[in-house]
Amino acid sequence: MRILPLLLLALSLSACGTADRLSRIGRPPPVSPVTNPANEPGVRNIAMPVPAPQEPMASSNSLWRAGSRTFLRDQRAAQVGDLITVLVSIADEAQLQNRTQATRTGTQAMGMSNLFGLETSVPRVLPSQTSPGSLVNTNSSGVTDGNGQIRRSDAVTLRLAATVTQLLPNGNLVVAGRQEVRVNHELRELMVQGVLRPQDIASDNTVRHDRLAEARIIYGGRGALSDVQQPRVGTQVLDALLPF
């Protein structure tokens, strides 16, 4: 009876997904409206460990301004609402292979040839053909052979403009950006979030993805092709429930 609620849930989820697909027949997936990145559900204020604030030292007869990185106006992102371009270039490749082999053999034998004369009582309890000298004799043998191999190759190259959503007390910037590209009936979504140091921002107001702390880079999509590649809801439920 416990399977019935799960089947009903799977059918309801499948019906919701089918209704959504039926509503988009003949039309491309809708593009999300432009919103404030700071108000996105996945974007939250971050609390990071920061050093104690230090008062800038004033110097007389100097053109240098405390906290400035140049005599001229700095065009790089520095305040909440400023834009910065994040350069994502991921080219990872990993290969792992494990092999485990184990063999185990065991033999146990136990008897009671003489035990204070109690061996004569064995035929009274067990069948008459039972020999007290060989009551238990077991043999066991086990062989284990495991082989696993992993090959992974990832390559993502993109440029994405992000918005500074928070200025931390130590001067670090929290950035978040999202981009949607629709080609025919397929919608591609690009998202990036992270924390960066102002010193890592290049002079052209760009920053590399490997300079982002707590980086979250998401590249996905939805549409006609993604629907075909995605397993059906019923298949996913069966894959999660069936033990074989």
- Residues 16-64 have pLDDT tens digits of 666 666 676 666 777 777 677 777 777 777 776 666 766 766 666 666 6
Q: Does residue 208 lie within any of the structural domains? A: no
Helix 3-23 crosses helix 233-241 at what angle (to 10 degrees)? 150
Confidence (pLDDT) at 206: 94
Computed over every residue of the chain, the mean pLDDT equals 78
CB atoms within 10 A of CB 44: 13
CB atoms within 10 A of CB 212: 23
Q: Does residue 145 lie within any of the structural domains? A: yes
Contact 150, 94 (CB under 8 A): yes
Residue 30 token pair: 């809708």
Higher pLDDT pick, 11 / 105: 105
Q: Mean pLDDT over residues 145-171, rounded?
A: 86
Higher pLDDT pick, 218 / 34: 218
- Tokens 């918005």 correspond to 163
pLDDT in tens, 103-136: 888 887 777 777 666 766 766 667 766 776 667 7
Q: Give the total number of structural domains in the chain.
A: 1
Higher pLDDT pick, 28 / 220: 220
Contact 189, 218 (CB under 8 A): yes
Q: Decide the pairing of beta strands 173-183 and 83-110.
A: unpaired
DSSP annotation of 104 reads E
Q: What angle do CA 188, 210, 78 make, to 5 degrees?
A: 90
Exposure on the CB side of residue 84, measured as CA atoms within 13 A: 35
Confidence (pLDDT) at 102: 87
Residue 1's H or E segment, with its range, is: none
Contact 217, 192 (CB under 8 A): yes
Q: SS3 sequence, 10-54? A: HHHHHHHHHHHHHHCCCCCCCCCCCCCHHHCCCCCCCCCCCCCCC
pLDDT of residue 190 exceeding 70, the answer is: yes
What percentage of the chain reaches a pLDDT higher than 70?
69
Confidence (pLDDT) at 10: 57
Domain range holding 123?
Answer: 96-149
Higher pLDDT pick, 82 / 49: 82
Classify the phi-psi angles of 59: left when phi > 0, otherwise alpha if psi is within -120 to 50, otherwise beta. Answer: beta
Residue 122's H or E segment, with its range, is: helix 122-125
The band of 196, judged by pLDDT with boundaries at 50, 70 and 90, is very high
Residues 6+ apart with CB under 8 A from 219: 156, 158, 188, 189, 190, 191
Q: Does residue 120 lie within any of the structural domains? A: yes
Q: Does residue 138 lie within any of the structural domains? A: yes
Q: Does residue 19 lie within any of the structural domains? A: no
Q: Mean pLDDT over residues 91-101, rounded?
A: 84
pTM of the model: 0.58
Q: Does residue 211 lie within any of the structural domains? A: no
Q: Of 63-67, 108-112, 239-243, where does mean pLDDT reach its minimum?
A: 63-67
Confidence (pLDDT) at 162: 92
pLDDT of residue 198 exceeding 90, the answer is: yes
Confidence (pLDDT) at 124: 66
